[in-house]
């Protein structure tokens, strides 16, 4: 199957499906300039005093909060990032009448910024922060603009609403994501290596008609996907017409599996 045929098939399945779930990973946000973790240029391949996976752990946060916030402000807070073609297309499809549920491993809030309304943030969001002592809520700018440890008006430490290593996922968010995945006719898995659990394990709840993978490289999903498209998530989705009649744009490398 060539590139045009792959996108045409995806277009057909989008047209036929009323309920669509989009499961996205870091590869969706990298196209907005937000660094990922596991690619060759990702955070895990950069040199720090401590490994990033150690810095982003609950234990490290408790025992070395100054070092945690130094890394967090520099590498995790990308507040100037804007939605890319992938975020915008999903919001457009929803506006055109599709029931789109977004299940994301990203913490940047770009899906909501683009206009998507049903978003399940498995790993939380940098946009939400709360005092560990009194529970008062703060925006991301408070973390960005504070010097040293971000403190609440009560004196308590403010923590971002992001899921660190050693912390569990929010049960209500997971339940909503599972329900959306289980009820969808079409599932698009995009921009994720499917190596982060338990998030990646949620795909097993999909029992709909078509499972599509969009990623620059092969993943563990290759053997189960009805269609695998190799390339940029944003450029691929940009070719999908929300009205279901045409598509256009740059071709993407794809393969049928």
Residue whose entry in the numeric block shows the structure tokens 């909501």: 112
98 vs 39 pLDDT, higher one: 98
* Confidence band for 171, pLDDT divided at 50, 70 and 90: very high
Residue pLDDT, tens place only, 112-162: 999 999 999 999 999 999 999 999 999 999 999 999 999 999 999 999 999
Q: In this structure, are residues 93 and 243 in contact, taking their beta carbons and an 8 Å threshold?
A: no
The C-alpha atoms of residue 143 and residue 161 are separated, in whole angstroms, by: 12
Map out the domains of the chain with their CATH numbers.
Answer: 3-34+82-123+167-255 (3.40.50.1220), 35-77 (no CATH), 126-162 (3.30.1600.10)
pLDDT for 194 equals 87
| 45, 123, 210, 241: the active-site residue | 123
* Confidence band for 40, pLDDT divided at 50, 70 and 90: very low
The C-alpha atoms of residue 123 and residue 129 are separated, in whole angstroms, by: 13
Residue 43 CA from chain centroid, whole number? 16
Torsion of CA 208, 90, 232, 108, to 10 degrees: -110
Is 63 marked active-site?
A: no
The C-alpha atoms of residue 122 and residue 108 are separated, in whole angstroms, by: 12
């Amino acid at each position: 199957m060539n590139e045009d045929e792959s996108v045409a098939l995806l277009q057909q399945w989008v047209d036929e499906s009323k309920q669509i779930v989009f499961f996205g990973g870091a590869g969706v946000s990298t196209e907005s300039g937000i660094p990922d973790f596991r690619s060759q240029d990702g955070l895990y391949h950069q040199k720090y005093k401590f490994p990033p996976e150690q810095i982003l752990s609950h234990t490290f946060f408790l025992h070395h909060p100054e070092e945690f916030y130094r890394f967090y402000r520099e590498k995790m807070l990308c507040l100037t990032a804007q939605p890319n073609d992938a975020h915008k297309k999903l919001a457009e499809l929803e506006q055109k009448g599709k029931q789109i549920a977004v299940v994301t491993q990203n913490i940047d809030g770009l899906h909501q910024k683009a206009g998507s309304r049903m978003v399940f943030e498995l790993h939380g969001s940098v946009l939400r922060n709360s005092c560990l002592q009194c529970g008062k809520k703060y925006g991301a700018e408070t973390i960005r603009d504070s010097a040293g440890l971000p403190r609440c008006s009560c004196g308590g430490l403010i923590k971002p609403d992001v899921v660190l290593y050693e912390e569990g996922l929010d049960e209500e968010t997971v339940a909503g994501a599972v329900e959306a995945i289980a009820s969808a006719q079409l599932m698009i898995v995009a921009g994720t290596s499917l190596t982060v659990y338990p998030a990646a394990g949620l795909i097993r709840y999909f029992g709909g008609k078509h499972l599509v993978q969009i990623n620059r490289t092969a993943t563990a999903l290759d053997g189960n996907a009805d269609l695998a498209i190799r390339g940029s998530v944003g450029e691929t989705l940009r070719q999908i017409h929300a009205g279901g009649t045409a598509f256009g744009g740059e071709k993407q490398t794809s393969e049928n599996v």
